[in-house]
């Protein structure tokens, strides 16, 4: 057994060892703390408002904000993953052809991949309230401004019923969230209430600005960081939309490897006087009206939209097209398109009161080419009936949702095609005989109008006959109707 004196010696030695280790730990910690304090002081000094790099970092944020806002606006409200990680998947060449999901657009010598704001109706879905020709757009009912009067189901009849491709402006849980107490700002469109849903302009911009800001600053390349233990942490950017401006708050944290502590540099701010919120709202209203009202001209009638929102004017009529804003359309922009998109258009909204880099701000979205709509021809009309020697006069009218071939009369003035009786075949005593026939399109009226067909009934034409009338756009998309033409015998025989 150990004696008490021996036990005492071990206890004393243990205390000595413990004290030595404590002193060593204190000395190391003190050195680390001193080193971190010195580095922190040095780094902080560099990035305060009076520091060497403050202006440099502020310029990086300003540049990143402008680049992101221009990209999102020119690409239909999206930023793609090849431009910033964790944004929208890019569905263009090489994986998909142009015109399937994106449309290339050369604007002021820059090529943008513009996403769609309007998809054409998908007739392959066989949706009852979205029929294909000849019932397109909604059966035997004549074309009207508001098809929901026919049925509440008749919405988006000139667009895709199941998919609205224009991304919403705001994140439901973001800085413009409608759930905030006393929120000053708001958005007209939000993504879903799923936390994981990041398909909105706001989050695209935040992701792009944060990544571009970090890449621009590139702290690791600065000489003051060469001999420090500092590394850049998770840079974040918060974008907030106001009706006439966009504000960005960016946090640029730095991590000290020695202690694991985080040094948050001075928060950086940027503000751009761009009416992005109002322009996006205008785009939403333009699209909504264009895919429902066949008589709406997206360029000419933009100033008729008066249902936009404005704080403090909830009960008033508010024009969506503000002073300084214009709407234009670029037709058939895709020269490299093959199977898709060759006849698709680009709609741009330009704002002379929102300047970026000395130029007016521009928002663009693509529009898929859509079928024209032939006005229903009432077969009970007397124009489809004539006596022998009388004239059958057919004056069809069609409207194109994209205003292709529209003239001063605001309907398609050309590209009407006739088929069936007196075009593809003649018909005598109920027997069809193909070959050269003189019919509706041989009349001088059709030759001059390429629309109105006329035919003078002959003695051998007595009876009922089927004529096909088509209206086709440049792509060859056609709406059509079969009508029954009746030729009656003369009530007084010819001598």
Residue 240 to residue 253: CA distance in whole angstroms: 21
Beta bridge partners of 367: 118, 345
Least confident window among 408-422, 430-444, 446-460 = 430-444
Q: How many domains does the chain have?
A: 1
The closest of 214, 229, 280 to 73, measured between CA atoms, is 280
Query: Could you tell me what percentage of the chain is helix, strand and coil, using 3-state DSSP and rounding each to the nearest 5?
Result: 25, 25, 50
Q: What is the pLDDT of residues 71-83, one digit of tens each?
A: 999 999 999 999 9
Query: pLDDT tier at 21 (50, 70, 90 boundaries)?
Result: low
Reported as a pLDDT band with limits 50, 70 and 90, residue 221 is confident
Enumerate residues 6+ apart whose C-beta is below 8 A from 181.
none
Rounded to the nearest integer, the mean pLDDT of the chain is 88
Would 243 be classed as within a structural domain?
Answer: no
Residue 414 pLDDT exceeds 50: yes
Which residue(s) pair with 46 in the sheet?
none
- Looking at the chain, the whole-number percentage of residues with pLDDT higher than 70 is 84
pLDDT for 6 = 54
pLDDT given for residue 28 in this prediction: 47
Q: Which of 193-207, 221-235, 244-258, 397-411 has the lowest mean pLDDT?
A: 221-235
pLDDT on residue 162? 78
Highest-pLDDT range among 118-132, 219-233, 239-253, 428-442:
239-253
Question: Among residues of the chain, what percentage have pLDDT more than 90?
Answer: 67
Q: What is the dihedral of CA 441, 444, 447, 450, to 10 degrees?
A: -70
Quote the DSSP letter at residue 358.
T
CA atoms of 308 and 327, how far apart (whole Å): 16
CA atoms within 13 A on the CB side of 170: 25
Confidence of residue 440 (pLDDT cuts 50, 70, 90): very high
> Does residue 96 lie in a domain region?
no
Sign of the four-CA dihedral 480, 344, 117, 303: negative
- The CA–CA distances, whole Å, from 279 to 183, 271, 351 equal 21, 17, 8
| Cα dihedral 263, 265, 267, 268 sign | negative
Give the tens place of pLDDT for each residue, 331-368.
999 999 999 999 999 999 999 999 999 999 999 999 99
Q: What is the pLDDT of residues 176-206, one digit of tens each?
A: 998 887 555 578 899 999 999 999 999 999 9
Please report, for the chain, how many H helices and E strands are present, in that order: 5, 21
Q: Is the model more confident about 28 or about 263?
A: 263
Residue 312: inside a domain: no
Q: Between 401 and 314, where is the model more confident?
A: 401
Is 425 part of any domain?
yes
Which domain covers residue 429, as residue numbers? Answer: 373-488
The answer to whether position 25 is within a domain reads no
What letters, b where the CB count within 10 A reaches 16 and e where it falls short, cover 446-467?
beeeebbbbbebeeebbeebeb
The closest alpha carbon to 136, from 416, 477, 385, belongs to: 477
Domain membership of residue 447 (yes or no) is: yes
In a domain, 400, yes or no: yes
Phi, psi of 278 (to 5 degrees): -70, -35
Position 7 confidence tier, pLDDT thresholds 50, 70, 90: low
Please check whether residue 457 lies inside any domain of the structure: yes
pLDDT band for position 39 (cuts 50, 70, 90): low
Q: What is the pLDDT of residue 31?
A: 47
Q: What is the pLDDT of residues 240-290, one digit of tens each?
A: 999 999 999 999 887 766 555 556 567 899 999 999 999 999 999 999 999
The CATH number for 419's domain is: 2.60.40
């Amino acid at each position: 057994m150990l004696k008490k004196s021996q036990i005492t010696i071990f206890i004393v030695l243990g205390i000595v060892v413990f004290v030595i280790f404590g002193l060593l730990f204190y000395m190391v910690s003190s050195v680390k703390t001193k080193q971190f304090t010195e580095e922190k002081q040095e780094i902080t000094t560099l990035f305060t408002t009076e520091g060497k790099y403050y202006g440099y970092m502020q310029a990086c944020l300003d540049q990143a904000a402008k680049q992101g806002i221009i990209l999102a606006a020119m690409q239909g409200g999206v930023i793609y993953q090849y431009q910033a990680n964790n944004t929208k998947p890019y569905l263009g060449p090489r994986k998909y052809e142009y015109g399937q999901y994106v449309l290339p657009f050369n604007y002021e010598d820059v090529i943008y991949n513009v996403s769609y704001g309007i998809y054409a109706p998908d007739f392959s879905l066989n949706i009852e309230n979205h029929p294909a020709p000849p019932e397109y757009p909604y059966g035997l009912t004549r074309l009207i401004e508001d098809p929901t009067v026919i049925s509440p189901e008749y919405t988006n009849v000139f667009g895709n019923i199941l998919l609205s491709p224009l991304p919403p402006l705001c994140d439901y849980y973001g800085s413009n969230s409608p759930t905030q107490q006393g929120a000053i700002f708001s958005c007209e469109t939000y993504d879903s209430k799923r936390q994981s849903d990041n398909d909105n302009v706001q989050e695209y911009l935040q992701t792009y600005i944060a990544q571009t800001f970090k890449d621009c600053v590139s702290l690791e390349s600065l000489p003051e960081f060469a001999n420090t233990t500092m590394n850049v942490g998770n840079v974040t950017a918060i974008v907030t939309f106001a009706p006439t401006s966009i504000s960005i708050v960016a946090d640029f944290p730095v991590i000290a490897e020695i202690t694991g502590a985080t040094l948050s540099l001075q928060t950086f701010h940027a503000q751009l006087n761009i009416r992005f919120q109002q322009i996006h709202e205008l785009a939403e209203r333009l699209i909504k009206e264009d895919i429902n009202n066949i008589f709406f001209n997206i360029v000419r009638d933009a100033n008729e939209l008066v249902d936009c929102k404005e704080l403090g004017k909830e009960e008033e009529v508010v024009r969506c097209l503000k002073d300084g804003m214009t709407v234009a359309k670029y037709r058939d922009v895709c020269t490299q398109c093959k199977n898709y998109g060759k006849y698709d258009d680009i709609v741009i909204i330009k704002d002379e009161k929102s300047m970026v880099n000395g130029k007016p701000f521009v928002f663009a979205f693509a529009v898929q080419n859509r079928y024209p709509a032939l006005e229903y021809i009432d077969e009970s009309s007397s124009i489809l009936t004539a006596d022998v020697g009388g004239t059958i006069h057919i004056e069809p009218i069609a409207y194109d949702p994209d205003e292709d071939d529209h003239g001063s009369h605001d309907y398609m003035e050309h590209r009407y095609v006739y088929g069936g009786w007196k075009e593809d075949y003649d018909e005598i005593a109920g027997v069809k005989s193909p070959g050269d026939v003189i019919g509706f399109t041989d009349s001088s009226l059709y030759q001059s109008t390429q629309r109105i067909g006329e035919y003078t009934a002959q003695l051998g034409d007595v009876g009922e006959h089927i004529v096909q009338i088509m209206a086709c756009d440049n792509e060859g998309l056609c709406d059509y109707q079969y009508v029954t033409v009746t030729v009656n015998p003369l009530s007084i025989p010819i001598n």
